[in-house]
């Protein structure tokens, strides 16, 4: 079980629960599907920021399937610039998944890497996970570079694995083990 003391603070970001005003700030539509899918794709498919969906306890990971989905707030300006999440995917196998979405106006400044690193820290150091993955559209080279900067290795390339916006897309899967995290490969 993990109930982090929010907001989480990184060098430049505050990671906190979503408020109703955050959707307007991001200029993104509220997702309509109920179950979260972690994405590193730069699109908001299937997620309900702020813990809506299957997780009834926002801000906590208490059981398999729970999602910790946090707003990325640029501390310098107070602007909401995206979101980051950690999903507890398996209790028995001690596994999780990270995902993030960043507003395009704030891409290229290391914010996604900074926020995702904090999710890895929570997963490995506080929740005691053994393995954390990140999945992305294989064409998304910017997100692939973020995961590689975090020390994650590419483990799979799944051909035409998902139908996204009417088009079959390939999916890449990256992963990091707890022992790699502790050894400093991040």
The CATH number corresponding to 8-182 among 3.40.630.30, 3.40.50.300, 1.10.357.10, 3.30.70.270 equals 3.40.630.30
- pLDDT-derived band of residue 83, with 50, 70 and 90 as boundaries? very high
167: which residues sit within 8 A by CB, 6+ positions away? none
Q: What is the DSSP letter of 142?
A: H
pLDDT, one tens digit per residue, over 38-78 is 344 333 333 444 444 333 457 899 999 999 999 999 999 99
Distances (CA, A) of 3 to 57, 65, 68, 182, 183: 10, 15, 9, 22, 25
Instruction: Judge whether residue 184 has pLDDT over 90.
Output: no
Quote the pLDDT of residue 20.
Answer: 85
pLDDT of residue 57: 56
What distance in Å separates the CA atoms of residue 18 and residue 22, rounded to the nearest whole number?
A: 6
List, in order, residues 6 or more apart from 166 with CB less than 8 Å away: none
Tell me the domain boundaries of the chain. 8-182
Select the more confidently predicted residue: 27 or 170: 170
Over residues 92-107, mean pLDDT: 95
Phi, psi dihedrals of residue 123, rounded to the nearest 5°: -65, -45
**Distance separating the N- and C-terminal Cα atoms of the chain:** 24
For 157, the token pair is 């390339």
30 has a pLDDT exceeding 70: no
With residue 66 as reference, give the H or E element that holds it.
none
pLDDT of residue 139: 94
181: tokens are 């995290």
pTM summary value: 0.83
């Amino acid at each position: 079980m993990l109930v982090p003391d929010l907001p989480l603070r990184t060098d430049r970001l505050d990671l906190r629960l979503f408020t109703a005003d955050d959707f307007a700030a991001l200029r993104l539509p509220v997702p309509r599907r109920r179950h979260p899918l972690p994405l590193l794709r730069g699109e908001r498919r299937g997620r309900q920021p702020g813990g809506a969906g299957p997780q009834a306890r926002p801000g906590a990971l208490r059981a398999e399937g729970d999602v910790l989905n946090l707003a990325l707030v640029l501390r310098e300006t107070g602007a909401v610039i995206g979101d980051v999440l950690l999903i507890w995917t398996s209790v028995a196998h001690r596994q999780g998944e990270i995902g993030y979405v960043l507003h395009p106006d704030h891409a290229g400044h290391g914010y996604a890497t900074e926020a995702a690193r904090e999710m890895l820290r929570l997963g490995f150091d506080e929740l005691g996970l053994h393995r954390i993955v990140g999945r992305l559209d294989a064409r998304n080279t910017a997100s692939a570079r973020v995961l590689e900067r975090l020390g994650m290795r590419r483990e799979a390339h799944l051909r035409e694995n998902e139908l996204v916006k009417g088009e079959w897309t390939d999916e890449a899967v990256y992963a990091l083990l707890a022992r790699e995290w502790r050894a400093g490969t991040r």
